[in-house]
Structure 1
C-alpha cells in the first residue's frame, strides 16, 4: 500500500511522500530512499470477537495492577472451561466460585478493602489528589504485610498512612487536619505514625514550611504580595537554621502573619505620603478607601492565622517575634494597625 500526499506523512531523510506499508516486516518505508519512517505495531488482541459474550470468553487479561484492590489485581471473570477447553460440570464450577469467594473475603482482604474505602472517601471530601490516595493505600498495604495493623484500628493506621503519603508527595497536611477528617485525635495518629516510620523504612523528606504557604494564604484570603514576602522570610530563616526542629505549619503561619504586618506598615507609609499631597477631601477619602482595601488583603489576626495553621496563638506569637528578631525586621505594633471591617 502506498501513502498519498493527502495523508501528510513525509520521509524525514528526503522529504518524499512516496511511502509504502511493508506488512510482512511491519514497517512504513520510503520508496525513494529506503528509509524506515515508522514501525507498524498492532497492540490489539490476536483474536476477533463479534459480540460481548465472545469478548468476555476470549479475553485472557483483566484490569491493570491497582493498589486499591486487596490482591493488587482487578476483578476477572471465571471461565466455565478448564485448561484444555473442556466445559466444567456444574458442581465443579460452583465449588470454584465458592473458593473464589473465600479467597476474596479472607480477613486481610476485608481489612484492606475497608481501609481503601475509608481513605478514598476521606480524600474525596478533602479534595486530596489521586496520586496521594494511591500512595496512602500502598503504605497501608505495606503495614498490613508487616503485621503492623494488628491491635490498631483501621482509622488510626489509615490516617497515619495518609499523613505519611501527604508528606512524601510534598502536599503536606497538619496532623490536626488529618485527625479531623478521620474523626480521631492527633495523639492517635502520632502514635501509629511513629510505629510505621520505625518499621516500614519509608524515606520521608524533611518538613518544608514553604509547602504550606499557598494553601494557608488561600484560606486566609491574603494577597500574592503577602505570600511572596512570607516565602522570602522563610527562605532567609532556612539559611540561618531557624526552621530546624520547628513545627512547619506553625512557621508558615507565623511567616504569613509577619508578612501581613510588614505589608500593612508599607501600605500605611505609602498612603500617608499620598494623602499629604492630596488636594481635596474627596481625593483623601478615595485614598483612604484604597488603603483600607489593601489592608484587608494583608492583615490577619493571630487567632485567624492560628486556626488555619492548626497551632495555638502562643505559637504564632512566639514564632513571628523570633523570625523578626533573628532576621532584623522592624515590625510595627499589631495593636496600632486597625483591620478594616
Structure 2
C-alpha cells in the first residue's frame, strides 16, 4: 500500500515538472526580441577594439574615425531637439520647447490663452469672461485693427508681403513713440505704406496711395516726411530700447526718390504686351539712358516712364496709344507726348543696336 502511494506521488511530481517545462518554453517563445549586447561593431579594415566610431547625424551614417569607411546608414538621431527662441530677446541660452517665437508686432509675452466661442452655454460664458478681461488692452486692439487695414490696402494693389511687413513695423515703431498723437490713423497708415513701398523697391505714387486710402496727397506727403525723419533718428540713436524693431528698419535700404526705371515693369504688366519681360527690360534701359536728355530733367518719373514705354512699344512693333498708357500710368496723354517729343529728337543716341537686332525698327516711331 505504501509502495503504491509513493509511485503515484512520483508520477504526479513528474507530470507537474513536465507541465512547468512546457509553460516555460511557451513563455520563452512569447518574449520580445532583444538586442544581443555582446556583439560589438568593429571596422573590418582597422579592427580596433574598442572601435573608433563616429555617428554623423547630418548624413545618417556610422563612420570609422580612423579610416573613414562607412559602417552603417540610416541611423536615427536620438539627441535632444531643443529649440531656442529666448536667445533673440535676452541674449542667453534658454532651451525651451514651449510656444513659438515672439512676434515683434505685438505687445506682451503673447502666451495668453484664447477661448474659442462654442455652441455650449459654458463655452459662451468663458468667451464673454475673456472678452471682459481684454477690454482694457486698447493699444493691442488698435494695433490689430491697423494691421488688418494695412493688409487689406496692400492686397488691393498687389503690394508684396515684404513691403506689408515693413509697413506694419514702421507703424508699430511710430505708435510706440507716439509721434503722431492726435493724427488720424488713416493718414499714418497711408504714410507707412508709401515709405515701406519705397524702401522695398516697389514704389507707389502719391496718386496711387490717395486713390487707395482716400487720404489727400498733401497729408500723405507730410506724414511721409515725419516718418522719414523719425526712422533716420531711430537708426542713429544708440539708446534705442526697441532693438528688435530698430534692427528691422536698419536692414531696409535708405528711402530714395522714385525713379522711372522702377515703374516700367509694373506699367508694362498692366499694358499686357505679348513679350512683357522684353518690353519692360528695354523700357528700363531707355529710362536709364534718358537721363542724358537735358530737356527731360526735372520732369516727373511717371511721365518719363510712360514716354519711354510709348516709344519702345512702337519701336518693337507692339504699339500702344498714349491714352492706353496714360490710363495705366495715371498721367495725361498730352504729358506723354510732350516727353516723347524730346526722346524722339534724341532717338539716334538713345536707341541701342541690340534692340534693333531683336526686331526693333526706327521707321516705326511716330513723329509725334
Shorter-chain TM range is 0.5 to 0.7
Residues 98, 162 of structure 1: alpha-carbon distance in 2 compared, 3 angstrom cutoff: closer
Higher relative contact order (CA 8 A, sep 6+): 1
2:307 — aligned with what?
254
In the alignment, the residues of structure 2 paired with residue 75 and residue 326 of structure 1 have an alpha-carbon distance, to the nearest angstrom, of 64
In the alignment, the residues of structure 1 paired with residue 344 and residue 227 of structure 2 have an alpha-carbon distance, to the nearest angstrom, of 37
In the alignment, the residues of structure 1 paired with residue 341 and residue 147 of structure 2 have an alpha-carbon distance, to the nearest angstrom, of 43
2:81 — aligned with what?
43
1:132 — aligned with what?
163
In the alignment, the residues of structure 2 paired with residue 40 and residue 171 of structure 1 have an alpha-carbon distance, to the nearest angstrom, of 47
Name which of structure 1's ranges 166-175 and 315-324 shifts more when overlaid on structure 2: 315-324
In the alignment, the residues of structure 2 paired with residue 28 and residue 40 of structure 1 have an alpha-carbon distance, to the nearest angstrom, of 13
2:343 — aligned with what?
323
| Pairing of 1:43-122 with structure 2 (within 5 A) | 43-44=81-82, 61-67=98-104, 69-71=105-107, 74-77=110-113, 101=134, 105-106=137-138, 108-122=139-153
The 3-state SS of whatever aligns with 2:101 is: coil
CA offset digits 1:240-266 (Å, max 9, x no partner): 6777644323221111012123334xx
1:220 — aligned with what?
271
Does the 8 Å CA contact 2:82/2:97 hold for their aligned counterparts?
Answer: no
How well do the aligned residues superpose, as a CA RMSD in angstroms? 3.9
Return the index of the structure with the highest Cα Rg: 2
Does the 8 Å CA contact 1:28/1:40 hold for their aligned counterparts?
Answer: no
Deviation at 1:99, TM superposition (A): 10
CA offset digits 1:265-313 (Å, max 9, x no partner): xxxxxxxxxxxxxxxxxxxxxxxxxxxxxxxxx2222222122112233
Count matched residues.
Answer: 250
Unaligned runs of 5+ in 2: 1-34, 36-51, 85-95, 115-129, 233-248, 351-361
CA offset digits 1:25-64 (Å, max 9, x no partner): xx97522527699997532479xxxxxxxxxxxx874332
| Pairing of 1:169-184 with structure 2 (within 5 A) | 169-184=200-215
Q: Is 1:193 the counterpart of 2:224 in the alignment? A: yes
In the alignment, the residues of structure 2 paired with residue 147 and residue 241 of structure 1 have an alpha-carbon distance, to the nearest angstrom, of 44
The 3-state SS of whatever aligns with 2:134 is: helix
In the alignment, the residues of structure 1 paired with residue 62 and residue 142 of structure 2 have an alpha-carbon distance, to the nearest angstrom, of 56
In the alignment, the residues of structure 2 paired with residue 35 and residue 243 of structure 1 have an alpha-carbon distance, to the nearest angstrom, of 69
Deviation at 1:327, TM superposition (A): 5.0
In the alignment, the residues of structure 2 paired with residue 200 and residue 172 of structure 1 have an alpha-carbon distance, to the nearest angstrom, of 18
Deviation at 1:323, TM superposition (A): 2.8
In the alignment, the residues of structure 2 paired with residue 238 and residue 249 of structure 1 have an alpha-carbon distance, to the nearest angstrom, of 14
